Amino acid sequence: MPFTIEQKVELVLLRGDEYLSYNEVSNVFHEKHPNRPKLTASAIQKIIQTFISTGSVMKQNHRRPVWSEADEINVLAAFSHNPRTSIRAVGTNSGISK
């Protein structure tokens, strides 16, 4: 069962400034939410480390790369020069993947 954002924030707040250990945070969280399975210390540590490194408890999405207009023109020019060229070959030659 995935965590809600509110629950992840609650874990970060329970941990505080290393006031409670990960096991203590797990125990307190389980007391407040008995219907959820008990968390392991490593699961809590992962959420805390994500918060420390990104400043957010939300899952980071990997976004598609941004292509410039010049890249787009180069790809179109490659296909207009040789329409039988494979997409993979044009991508490799232009430095753009997928």
pLDDT digits (tens, 9 = 90+) for 59-83: 777 666 667 888 888 888 989 998 8
pLDDT at 18 (0 to 100)? 76
**Which residue stretches of the chain have pLDDT < 50?**
none
Q: By C-alpha distance, which of 59, 76, 64 is closest to 4?
A: 59
Place of tokens 């490659």: 78
56: left (phi over 0), alpha (psi -120 to 50) or beta: beta
pTM > 0.95: yes or no? no
